[in-house]
Structure 1
Amino acid sequence: MATKTRTKTDPNALPEVTISENGEVRFLHLGTEWVQGSMIIDSPFEIELEYVQRMMAWLLFVDPDSVSARHSMQLGLGSGALTKFHFKKLKMDTTTIEINPQVVIACRTWFKLPPDSAKLRVLLGDAAEVVRHAPFHGTIDALQVDLYDHEAAAPVLDSPDFYADCRNLLTDEGCMTVNLFGRDASYERSVESIRAAFGADAIWAFKPTRDGNAIVLAQRTPSHPTRMELLARAEVVQERWGLPATKWLKVFKPAQP
């Protein structure tokens, strides 16, 4: 997860990365008790946290047979769970943007993040700048936005202009999923910012998890699948990739203005 600082050349301005463990789970922290990511030690390429699993809901809106030919991008590496899942499980071309080099080192050392390759790139950079990078525009099918600093008080980037830049990254069938969380966050304000960028009929949302993470999905091109169509797709997603997609439909629906 990227930080508020914009000084990429000063390592002292970035929070220190720490690691903890509880039984079979390893956690990543940015100098505080707040969990910035996790991994099941014996299953390093599965997604452990419920809210992170929900950020995969874009799979409900594409042909499952087309997934491996698509391109994903994560803004904020965290413990690498989404990056690893897209690359290892979905076999996708995967690009991740992370501002803190310590996070990248920690993920490669403690969280089984594979080295860069032809289909995996972990780039050091500021997400606010990267989303304005024209060569990425129109190339991303699945964009996950999970940008928090060490205090995890509110999303670091959360404006209509930022979400408009995110929309520009997407292909016609592309989806963005965003984690909204924090004591200083405003869910309604964030959704309004996303709606301003994507349109009122392009937004879907989960009910918050028990820990308070609310996942919002926005489509570049709005679609209106029926519940039966979504259920059929969810069953495929669950069977192929082990995500609890059929349970998602109990708490996932279009976000009304």
Structure 2
Amino acid sequence: MTLLKRKSIEAVASRRPARGIRTRGERPGQDEKRMTPRFAPVTFSEMDGVRYLHFGTEWVQGAMRLRKPDAIELEYAQQMMAWLLFLSPSAPDFHVAQLGLGAAALTKFSHRHFARARVTAVELNPAVIIAGRSMFGLREDDARLSVREQDAWDYVMDATSTESVDALQVDLYDATARGPVLDTTAFYRACRRTLKSPGVMTINLFGDHDSFPKNIERICDAFDNRVLVFPEVHDGNVIALAFNGPPIDVSWETLEARADVVEQATGLPARDWVNKLRAANARQEAKLVI
């Protein structure tokens, strides 16, 4: 059977009603009546030394190269780490949070490479957590790692999450890749409230799906238009970065120097991130001002 890699996404397995009211005047605390989660089956495949996670379909929800279990295999997932261009995970009490565990690539990578950071992963489907630990090398919780069986909406709405996260990584899709399962302005505002100052949210979107323009508009609304996007990768994944805190006014040469540090420390293609961000975002040619 040929494995389809289209729409490579790590995701929550359930489809739930969107939270909040989709108007500019919405109150972030509002919540619609909930349905009992319905989870698709968690399934696996392997090809050319890579193990893939699926939710009962051909859509890839995450991947791990068997010989490099703590590496990030997929390009879009690597770009989810682009907050490293702006934040140092060696800062005291640094906190990385991941909404949607998938194959645990981002969680494992952060736990391994950022020795002083706390790492939290939030996943609604208990079978995905079990799969992460039994099939994808996710470690048991320790003093720095916490994997929580929880709805991402509840996590960002919890008062204890306010201003607690430095880097928030959001990858929330259902089994059929119909767009993010949480996509209201209320949700994105709640994501912003979890961030410290400075703080960065990275989020996986679909550039060729009708969910993309409305999500970008809502993220821009929630983050006062302080949003950058990468060019589309794979078959439609677009990673966006949204910023909280002081304005950023930095030369691309300074970001390239920072990218060199990130590459040496992590092996991630950070210089490529700088080139792509510079090319993809209008009115940022001379320097990055956001």
- Rounded to whole Å, the distance in 1 between the matches of 2:93 and 2:203 is 23
Shift of 1:210: 3.3
2:238 maps to which of 210, 214, 219: 214
What amino acid is aligned across from residue 88 of structure 1 in structure 2?
R
- Rounded to whole Å, the distance in 2 between the matches of 1:256 and 1:45 is 35
Aligned residue for 1:86? Answer: 110
CA contact (8 A) 1:155 1:182 kept: no
Aligned-partner SS, 1:35: coil
Shift of 1:117: 1.1
Shift of 1:224: 2.4
Please list, as runs of the form range in 1=range in 2, the aligned pairs for 1:174-185 lying within 5 A after superposition.
174-181=199-206, 184-185=209-210
Deviation per residue, 1:18-42 (Å, 9 max, x gap): 0100021000001100000000111
- Rounded to whole Å, the distance in 1 between the matches of 2:179 and 2:73 is 22
Aligned residues: 254
Q: How well do the aligned residues superpose, as a CA RMSD in angstroms?
A: 2.1
1:143 maps to which of 168, 172, 175: 168
Aligned residue for 1:24? Answer: 49
- Rounded to whole Å, the distance in 2 between the matches of 1:41 and 1:90 is 22
- Rounded to whole Å, the distance in 2 between the matches of 1:154 and 1:136 is 25
What amino acid is aligned across from residue 227 of structure 2 in structure 1?
I
CA contact (8 A) 2:55 2:61 kept: yes
Shift of 1:187: 2.2
What amino acid is aligned across from residue 112 of structure 2 in structure 1?
K
| Percent identity of paired positions between Structure 1 and Structure 2 | 44
Q: Does 1:4 align with 2:28?
A: no
CA contact (8 A) 1:154 1:182 kept: no
Please list, as runs of the form range in 1=range in 2, the aligned pairs for 1:189-228 lying within 5 A after superposition.
189-200=214-225, 202-221=226-245, 222-228=247-253
Gaps of 5+ in 2: 1-10, 18-32, 284-290
State which drifts further: 50-59 or 89-98: 89-98
Aligned-partner SS, 1:218: strand
- Rounded to whole Å, the distance in 2 between the matches of 1:189 and 1:44 is 35
Aligned-partner SS, 1:190: helix
CA contact (8 A) 1:173 1:220 kept: yes
1:34 maps to which of 59, 71, 82: 59
Shift of 1:229: 1.1
Gaps of 5+ in 1: none
Aligned residue for 1:130? Answer: 155
2:187 maps to which of 162, 187, 190: 162
- Rounded to whole Å, the distance in 2 between the matches of 1:187 and 1:240 is 33
Shift of 1:171: 0.4
Shift of 1:57: 0.5
- Rounded to whole Å, the distance in 1 between the matches of 2:210 and 2:35 is 28
Larger helix share, 1 or 2: 1
- Rounded to whole Å, the distance in 2 between the matches of 1:74 and 1:63 is 17
Which 4+ runs in 1 deviate beyond 4 A? Answer: 6-11, 254-257
Please list, as runs of the form range in 1=range in 2, the aligned pairs for 1:212-251 lying within 5 A after superposition.
212-221=236-245, 222-251=247-276
Query: Normalized against structure 1, the TM-score is what?
Result: 0.93
Report the structure number with the largest CA radius of gyration. 2
1:101 maps to which of 126, 132, 135: 126
State which drifts further: 174-183 or 26-35: 174-183
Shift of 1:186: 3.1
Deviation per residue, 1:181-206 (Å, 9 max, x gap): 27644322211110100012x21110
What amino acid is aligned across from residue 108 of structure 2 in structure 1?
K
State which drifts further: 206-215 or 73-82: 206-215
- Rounded to whole Å, the distance in 2 between the matches of 1:59 and 1:126 is 26
CA contact (8 A) 1:153 1:181 kept: no
